[in-house]
Structure 1
């Protein structure tokens, strides 16, 4: 997890930049070049966002359930000698994917430090 940008961090960086620079443009340039702040200003791609990854996983779980794809997996497993209950597998798979996806989305939201691109 990245260093959080707190009021104290901003105050210290701006104070230091203002003391060593002559113009507002130079202060802005120095503040934005400070590593903690510079990283936070670079957007992250939507594909790399844990929040969007988690929401996508939860959505895919629901689509798999609605389309019957999870039951199809049970039928295919039956061809290989497995005797699973299709409803149970569908429920467990959908629940696990949904909960895991939502947990990943929550984690991504709690640890975000940058805007989306």
Structure 2
């Protein structure tokens, strides 16, 4: 990912665009110069919802809760019992759900912090 577009960075690009165009340049010409600038154009490319790290993390956190409600995590304890493990189903369910939810939320936060979209 490219660096985030900050207000000073955007201001510099606009100033360069204005400085490099003739005085008779229209606002549309200035805008075209700004959006085609290599420092800005990568951030203007649309990103699909499923390519968003933030949405991926939120989906993982939510999926953990749904799987817990459906009893999938308790099913893992049953399978482990086939191999001689004697775990408490409720405790394993709580731990797995908590760990996956925390990891998903951390990934969502990472996606938010590394996004190229906001002006900071």
Measured against the shorter chain, the TM-score band is 0.7 to 0.9
Task: Tell me the SS of whatever aligns to 1:81.
Answer: coil
- In structure 2, the partner of 1:5 is 5
- In structure 1, the partner of 2:19 is 19
Could you say what the CA RMSD is over the residues aligned between the two structures, in angstroms?
Answer: 1.7
Mapped to 1, the partners of 2:72 and 2:7 lie a distance apart of: 50
1:30 to 27, 33, 53: 33
- In structure 2, the partner of 1:68 is 71
How big is the shift at 1:38? 0.5
Do the aligned residues in 2 keep the contact of 1:40 with 1:114 (CA within 8 Å)? yes
How big is the shift at 1:59? 0.6
User: Any gaps of 5 or more consecutive residues in structure 2?
Assistant: none
User: Any gaps of 5 or more consecutive residues in structure 1?
Assistant: none
1:91 to 89, 94, 115: 94
Which protein has greater RCO, CA pairs closer than 8 Å, 6+ apart? 2
How big is the shift at 1:82? 2.2
Give per-residue Cα distances to partners, 1:71-97, cap 9 Å, x unaligned: 111111212222222111101100101
TM-score (norm 1): 0.87
1:44 to 39, 44, 47: 47
Do the aligned residues in 2 keep the contact of 1:44 with 1:114 (CA within 8 Å)? no
Do the aligned residues in 2 keep the contact of 1:42 with 1:114 (CA within 8 Å)? no
Over 6 Å off, 4+ runs = none
Aligned length: 115
